[in-house]
Each structure stands twice: as C-alpha cells, then as structure tokens.
Amino acid sequence: MKEFIINDNEAGQRFDKYLAKLLREAPKSFFYKMMRKKNIILNGKKATGNEKLLSGDHVKLFLSDETFEKFSGSVPAPRAKHSLDIVYEDEHILLINKPSGMLSQPADDGTPSLVEYLTSYLLENGSLTEEELRTFRPSVCNRLDRNTTGLIAAGKSLPGLQELSGMFKSRNLHKYYLCLVEGVLSEKKHIKGYLAKDKKNNKVTIYRSEKEGTLPVETRYFPLGNNGKRTLLKVELITGRAHQIRAHLASEGHPVVGDPKYGRTGAKIKSQLLHSFRLEFPSMEGTLSYLSGKAFTAPVPEIFLGTLKEEQLEESYYENLE
C-alpha cells in the first residue's frame, strides 16, 4: 500500500489528472478500474476521478510495490545547471532575465533549456523535492527566441503557474520590449497583419491581408530616439506569435539590428538587439493578487548597451528605463 498527502502544488486539480501524473506509465483505464474496485481511494472513500483535490487530502493506493514501480516510472531530476539572473522571486513565481543563446523550453534534440535550469535551481534551494517532481513540474509561462534576451515568467507553485499562464493567454499581462532597428521612426504606431509560419525553415512571413493558414498579429511601437540611421524602439507585444516582433518590424522596412534571420545580411552585429525589458501585472484577484499593478524591468545585456553607446542612443535608453 502506498499513501500520499496532497500538498499545495498538487491541490486544485482533478483527482484523475493527479493520478495520470503519479502513474504516468499506466493507461487511464487502469486507474479508473482501480478506483471502481476501491484499490485507489481518496480520503478513505471510493472516488470517481473528477474530485477537485485540496491540500491535505489523503490518497491510498492498494497496489503491490511491483505494480506501482511499473506504472509510476522513473522521474530523473534534471542535471543541467546554469546560473540564473533572477529579477524577482516569491513562493509562487520567478521572473528571470534570460541571456542570449539560452532556449526557453526543451528542444527535441535534448538541448538543456531554462526549464531544466529552473528545476535544478529549485531543487538546490529546497523549494522543490525530487519526490514532488512526480506530480508537479515548474515551468516557464512565456517563450523568447533563443537569441532574444530579457524577462521570462515562471511558476514555481501550481497556483502560480496556473494564474501566470492564464494572464499570458488572456493577454492581461502587458509585455514591453526594447529593440534597435534600422532606419528612422519618429511616430508611435499600432501595426496589424497576418502571420504564416514555415515550420520546416523555422521562419514566418507577415501579410497585410488574411490568407489561408495565417494568424492575426498586432504590435505597437513607440520611438524613444534615433541618430538619423537607427531607432531605439519600445515595443508592446499585443499578440504573442513566433518571431512576431522581428518579422513584423522587418515587414515594415525596419528590421532589428543584428537579426540573422529577418535583418540585413552581412551585418557587423551578430546578436539581435531585442530585449524583453518590462512586465506589467494587471489588477487581479486570486493567489497572485499581491502583484496587482506592479511592474518589473530587466536591464539590457552588455552587447546591447555597448551598441547604444556607439550609436549615441544611450541617453534615450536610460530616460525610458522606468
């Protein structure tokens, strides 16, 4: 017999969802059958699987050790480690300033990503145990392209992860970027279009009118200063599509400086100067209500700041940090 007590990171989900994580190698029919036969019970009673779990609930599995080990599977703890630039952290969330070259989420080829680094960090500081990894995995809630830098929000508790993910999905959380673009822009603008993704080449195309297979995109930008050749922009990401800012600005004739995919070929700068620099939380209720109306910023990396100095746009950057 195995006994488990539901913790805060497991509460709030349906019982069958919890069992699917605990017995990840078992077909759903197995644990539904075990519930019917009372070989799996919740709080000493027969369960159906649709119960909403509460912290402190008791789960008992009347299964042999061999059966449990067979269906629970091994959950190896991540071994990838990387120092993290943490902008903000509390018991539910983290905001991390991601460097260029780091993946946001795991790749098919097994390349380590911020998710693995985050999990290792939480295991090391005691916020998470290897046993808890059976039924809860911390994760990031937004993605940045590999060579885009800046703020990524991550959930370290289930309520934090759920509420953060909901804010990104509903677009209630305002996301602002800084980028240096080719050409001179002097007026703020709200641009719209339609994005088509070429998965084979990992590239997108922006169209001005809707076509089959396209998705609508909206981007708002605010010029902060220019030197007659290049412009420092603050960009508000309204929709959040793959490569949206890079492709959308390039389609307007103002590619991001250093962008190898949508920018000018042969550019001197080889790192795209696009940085997620500010997140503004909406007024809200729930677990994260204490973050209502708060904003967090992350400074640009050295290569970005150095380029702004060379382009004599450093002052425009510092004037708009807050």
List 85, 108, 145, 198, catalytic entry: 145
Partners of residue 295 on adjacent β-strands: 280
Distance from C-alpha of 204 to C-alpha of 206, rounded to nearest angstrom? 7
Work out the pLDDT band at 250, boundaries 50, 70, 90: very high
The confidence score (pLDDT) of residue 12 equals: 86
Same fold across 2-72 and 86-170: no
**Cβ–Cβ contacts within 10 Å for residue 130, how many?**
10
pTM of the model: 0.86
Least confident of 71-75, 207-211, 275-279: 71-75
Mean pLDDT over residues 111-135, rounded? 89
Q: Is the pLDDT of residue 109 over 90?
A: no
For domain 86-170, the CATH superfamily is Pseudouridine synthase (3.30.2350.10)
Distance from C-alpha of 196 to C-alpha of 211, rounded to nearest angstrom? 8
Q: Is the dihedral of CA 256, 318, 310, 143 positive or negative?
A: negative
Where do we find the tokens 């990840």? 24
Question: Is residue 16 packed enough to be buried (19+ CB in 10 Å), middle (13-18) or exposed (0-12)?
Answer: middle
The confidence score (pLDDT) of residue 266 equals: 62
Task: Of 294, 299, 260, 290, give the one whose Cα is nearest residue 279.
Answer: 294
Work out the pLDDT band at 102, boundaries 50, 70, 90: very high
**Domain boundary assignment for the chain:** 2-72, 86-170, 174-319
- Does the 174-319 domain belong in CATH 3.30.2350.10? yes
The tokens for 14 are 């349906």
- Which CATH architecture is the domain 2-72 placed in? Roll (3.10)
Least confident of 89-93, 103-107, 201-205, 280-284: 103-107
Work out the pLDDT band at 265, boundaries 50, 70, 90: low
- Is 145 annotated in the active site? yes
Work out the pLDDT band at 128, boundaries 50, 70, 90: confident
What's the pLDDT tens digit per position in 13-57?
Answer: 899 999 999 998 999 899 899 999 999 999 999 999 999 999 999
The tokens for 48 are 């159906």
